[in-house]
Structures are given as C-alpha cells and as structure tokens.
Amino acid sequence: MSASTRHLRPRPPRAPLPQGGPDMADGMSANVGPAHMQPQGEGEAGIDPDARLQQIRETFIDDALRGMSVLAVCILALSFWRNVFGPEYLRVPAALALVATSTAILLGSHLRRRHLSYQAKASALLLVLFMSGTGGLLSFGQAAPTGNYFAIGFFVAAILFSRSVVFMMIAGVVLLMSAVGMLMITGRHSVGVDLNAVSQEPLAWANVVLTMALSAGAIATAVSAFTRSLHSLLGDVHRQQREIKAQRDQIHHLATHDNLTGLPVMRLATERSHRAMAHARESGRKIAFMFLDLDGFKAVNDQHGHDAGDRVLREVALRLRSAVRAADTAARIGGDEFVVVLHELTHAQAAGDVADKILRTLALPIDYNGHTLQVGASIGIAIFPDHAEDLDELRRVADKAMYAVKASGKNRYQFAPSPELPH
C-alpha cells in the first residue's frame, strides 16, 4: 500500500495526543520497511581495545628488539677487541661471555620475531637487560652503569606488563643490589679490576658512550613508535565516536520524521507544541494550532495512482515549509493530514494570514508525468490561549473547525468558535 492511501476518510475519532517520546511509526510511509531503518555502518566491526593494545605492544617490543640487537652487536665487537687486544686488566672473559649470550638472545628473538609470542619476546628483552645490569654490578660494583639497564628494563616492563608485575621486578632488583652490597661490605666479594686504570682507557669510555647512545636511541625509537600507535588508536576511537553519533542522529531523524515527505511526525510536533506553549505562557504571546486536510487528494489517487499521490504529498510538504517560518512546525500526521504550529504570534489574525498563504500556494498546479494535478485544503485553526490552554483541547477544537470547513464547501480556513473571534 502506498503512503498516500493511509488514513483516508472515513476517519475514526482521534485519540488524545501522545505525551511520550518519538513514535517511529507515526507519519511514516507505508512502503518503508525495517531495512530503511538500519543506520549506515551497522554490522561493521568496532574497535577491539584489547586487540589494538596488543598490536601496539607487539610493535613496541619489535622496535626495541631491533634497536637493542644493534647495540648488542656493537658492544660485542668492543668487548671482543678489549679481551683480545686490550690490556690485561681489561680482559674479562666472563663479561665477554655475557655479552655474547645477550647478543645471541637478542638477535635470535629479533630474527624469529614473527614466530615468537609477545610474552617470549618481552621476556628475552628483559632477561638481557637484567643480565647486563647484574653482570656490571658484580664486575664494577657501585661504579657500574647498571642503573641504566635496570631503568630501561623497568620502563619496558611498565609498557608491556601490569603494574603489579613491574613492582615485583623492582622489588627483585632491590633485593639483588642489597645482596651484592652486603657481599662487598662483608668482604665476600670484591671488584676484580682497577677502576682508576679502567677510567683512563679509551676503549672503556667508548664502551660507556656507545652503550648510552645506542640504548637511549633504541628505546627512543620504540617509544616513538608506541606514541604513534597510541595516536592512531585515539584517532580511530574519535572517528568511531563520530560515526556512532551520526548513526544515532540518523535513527533519531528516522524516528521523528516522515520518510516520504521529510516532515516531522506527530510526536515531534507534540513536543514542539508543548515547548511553544510553555514559552508563550512566559512571554504573553499566542500560538496557533492548525489541522490541514487535503481536498481532492482521493481523486488524484483514484485517477493517477499511488505514485502520483506520493508526488502530491511531497510537493505539499515543500510548499508548507515555504509558507511558514523556520521557527514554526509543519508535520505530517496521516495519509493526507498535516499539522502546522505557529509560534510567538502577537495576534490571532496572523494565523489567518498564514492560512491564506498556505491555501494560495497549495492551489498551484502540480506537474506529474505531463498531467496537471490539483489539490486544495481545509484548515481548522485554534489559538492558544484563546480557545484552549492544554494541547489536547487545542487539537480537538482545531479538528472540529477543520471538519466544519469540510462540511461547508472545503478549500478555506476557519477559526475554532470563540466569543473573541468572528466566525
């Protein structure tokens, strides 16, 4: 059934105006099914925060492994040179073995990063960092730059693991350093190198500078990638929020506007009328409630078909919009029935002037596939607060005035009976 055939006469008595929210069925074209109500983008996958966080962590750990692998290779070369060609007091085979082991772990993890789990790669990186820190602590005591390794390890752990895990790592390192300190204080362990002699060796300083530069560069690169990934995630979240808002706006529009004409439905017109009446009470002005029923519409449907009827309804909606102000409301409430609510009127006759304008514009012919279609309108007008002070009564007397026009010749307007207004 076409939208143009709904609610044609004979009409049942009108029910009181609804007081609730928008009704998705009111005033909607009968040829609109549930598929028309589906918002764009429905069914698309949303952002999975756990998956995106895992992806960000994977990117961070891969970048960190790559940078630390370069650092390990450079330090291994320096350590090998120091142990083979350096002075005797710089030759520490245990340190060379530790660097070689660390390099093997890092390179292996980096080269097989696509086959290893996130936890395995993270564990390998942290193992190397804490091994390096522990080795330096045992070899050089307080003079060792172990704080760098431990600090980097804590930073990486804070990104990759929960806070409780990081605190457990910190507690473990504190116990380790306390134990090494007690061993040295009690004389059970001593530093086996001359720190003054080491500080005068260019190779030692090259090792310190290279370690600081490359480790800082590796972590800075990883953190930069981590920041970019977070920025991308926030951008995706913001985009999805905009899409959700657009979908909600679309659903609200479908629920409160007629699908065929785009005019508000009765529920939205009711809400606006209540607001207009409240404002009129404060300002001392008037509002007009018009019931408009098309004349000759059934003949258009019978002679030219429902598509022609729909064409007429769309054109009537356009002409109603052009006849009223932007602040006023024109709504479709049935097949060929419309409501117009005029706000902030200084005198009642202003509603009559608008009704005249509506009648003139609706009387203009409508072209449809080479045929000239013509309709008119019967309009009943009720004024707030002259005729009624509640919306249901205002609607009732406007409806009654409209039927009086129908009975007395159609195609004109009439105010509801009132001692203050002439008939």
Annotated catalytic sites, by residue? Answer: 336
Residue with tokens 């080269």: 111
Instruction: Point out which residues pair with 379 in neighbouring strands.
Output: 292, 413
Could you tell me if 394 and 286 are in contact, meaning their C-beta atoms sit under 8 angstroms apart? Answer: no
Tokens of 155: 């930073």
Q: What one-character DSSP code corresponds to residue 7?
A: T
Q: What residues contact 54, with CB distance under 8 A and at least 6 apart?
A: 118
| Cβ-defined contacts of 319-327 (< 8 Å, 24+) | 319/358, 319/361, 319/362, 319/364, 320/263, 320/292, 320/358, 321/263, 322/361, 323/354, 323/357, 323/358, 323/361, 324/354
Instruction: Point out which residues pair with 367 in neighbouring strands.
Output: 372
Tokens of 14: 């009108």
Gyration radius (Cα) of the chain, Å: 41
SS3 assignment, position 379: strand
- Cα–Cα distance measured from residue 382 to residue 402, given in angstroms and rounded to the nearest whole number: 10
Q: What count of residues does the chain have?
A: 423
Could you tell me if 382 and 394 are in contact, meaning their C-beta atoms sit under 8 angstroms apart? Answer: yes
- Cα–Cα distance measured from residue 266 to residue 84, given in angstroms and rounded to the nearest whole number: 92
Instruction: Point out which residues pair with 286 in neighbouring strands.
Output: 345
